[in-house]
Amino acid sequence: MVSASRRSLAGCALLLTFTLAAAAPAWAEDDACPPLIPPLDMQKLFTDTTMTDAERLALMQESSREIRKPVTWSGCHIVTDKIDIFDKVTIAPGTILKFKENAGLDIQNGGALDAQGTSDQPVTFTADDETPGYWYGLYFSSNSSKNRLIYTNISYAGGNQKGTSGSVMKRAIGDPKPPTRAVMVDEGASLRMENTHITNITGYGIEVLGALRGFSTNKIDHTDIPARLQPDAVGMIDANSTFSDSTKNQIDLVALGALNHDASWVDAGVPYIWHYSETIAANLELQPGVEIQMGNDAMLSIDDNASLKAIGTEDKPITIHGVSTTPGSWSGIVLNSKSDQNIWKYVRIADGGGDGYFKANIYDGGNLDISDSWIENSPRAGIRVDKNSGIQGRITMADIHYKDNKTDYLETK
């Protein structure tokens, strides 16, 4: 008589067979790129009388699309569907993973993806059909410090569906930005990415709602938009990373609370696009050449205990202006900070002063030292200094160039 456990095990095996068989192509032992997850050997499972129940279960688990014990991948493999990673996966230098349509890797809580290639032997994540958006990409929900993409190449990702049976991925209602990306770092997750090339992507090259533990010497090109980042991730970008040759060459910034960590933003060679109002609640320094474009009605506020230091050069000024050049297209900069680090030199501020209480390109209710700068295209005031009791805004100015403002300078008391 067959035991209840054996009947249960056989039933599970049969069910798993049906779910795997549809996606698993025929392959031979000597294939150059066999499936990463091998099809279940049903003949062995049912006819090998020497196998124990534990061995049968282990065989089934090896053919599962869930990774629940540490494993190292190497060589060349085909990934046929979505794989959920709940433990550490190490990928050896030179490994090539070719993804089928809508396939990808989900790095779940408790899991980690540690892909460290070398300059001579990068790790490659690509499609078996060289079509942008063919597979959906790498999705990090894990906060592991072992999530690393170092010397990797990622191409043809950005599909809009996870797995053969997954639903189409969508953004929040009203967000018009691309719904997909090649690499996703979700809220609460983290990733270190170095010497990585992301190319031929539908949607964003990378989207970070969580944290970047490092971001250096990366190259993102031939995407819809290279990157979408929450503000605290921007400070990890180094000057050696490039963002180019995309439909829109820009870095979109996500409004996920305030900028809470001290940071220095480099000139990324493309503008940072701040679509929404945002608060700087830490010390932010903008390096020469930085360009920030503000979305319609957006406002940039520098909090009481924060500062904004923006020192450009004559050749590489810092620019903060509207996505639209219509006067007043965005609300302007609101400075509430009394810090002596609010030093702006060779800065151009334009197109602000839209609807709202402050009605200026720059509202100063704090402390500002500004020189060799351009204040332009406000339908109200270029600079408004609030001298009211309890606020007492202070400003030091030298060589300010005004253009096309209704009122260049205004003090209110």
Residue where one domain finishes, among candidates 64, 80, 114: 64
Do 206 and 298 lie in one domain? The reply is yes
Do 29 and 114 lie in one domain? The reply is no
pTM for the full model? 0.88
Do 85 and 33 lie in one domain? The reply is no
Do 173 and 37 lie in one domain? The reply is no
Please count the structural domains in the chain.
2
Residue where one domain finishes, among candidates 64, 93, 108: 64
Question: Can you tell me the distance from the alpha carbon of 225 to that of 209, in angstroms, rounded to the nearest whole number?
Answer: 16
Do 166 and 251 lie in one domain? The reply is yes
Residue where one domain finishes, among candidates 64, 89, 118: 64
The H or E element that residue 234 is part of is: helix 231-234
The tokens describing 99, both together, are 């993804």
Question: Can you tell me the distance from the alpha carbon of 115 to that of 112, in angstroms, rounded to the nearest whole number?
Answer: 10
Do 79 and 21 lie in one domain? The reply is no
Least Cα distance to 190 among 206, 177, 209 occurs for 209
Do 187 and 159 lie in one domain? The reply is yes
Do 124 and 251 lie in one domain? The reply is yes
* 272 in Cβ contact with 225 (< 8 Å): no
Domain that holds residue 1: 1-64
The residue with tokens 């089934």 is: 60
Question: Can you tell me the distance from the alpha carbon of 156 to that of 198, in angstroms, rounded to the nearest whole number?
Answer: 9
Do 157 and 249 lie in one domain? The reply is yes
Cβ neighbours of residue 134 closer than 8 Å, sequence gap 6 or more: 99, 101, 127, 156, 157, 159
The residues pairing with 106 across neighbouring beta strands, listed in sequence order, are: 84, 139
* 277 in Cβ contact with 299 (< 8 Å): yes
Do 227 and 368 lie in one domain? The reply is yes
Do 186 and 54 lie in one domain? The reply is no
Do 39 and 175 lie in one domain? The reply is no
Per-residue pLDDT tens listing for the chain (413 residues): 444 444 444 444 444 444 444 334 445 555 789 988 765 555 555 566 776 766 555 544 554 578 999 999 999 999 999 999 999 999 999 999 999 999 999 999 999 999 999 999 999 999 999 999 999 999 999 999 999 999 999 999 999 888 776 777 665 544 656 789 999 999 999 999 999 999 999 999 999 999 999 999 999 999 999 999 999 999 999 999 999 999 999 999 987 778 999 999 999 999 999 988 899 999 999 999 999 999 999 999 999 999 999 999 999 999 999 999 999 999 999 999 999 999 999 999 999 999 878 999 999 999 999 999 999 999 999 999 999 878 899 999 999 999 999 999 999 98
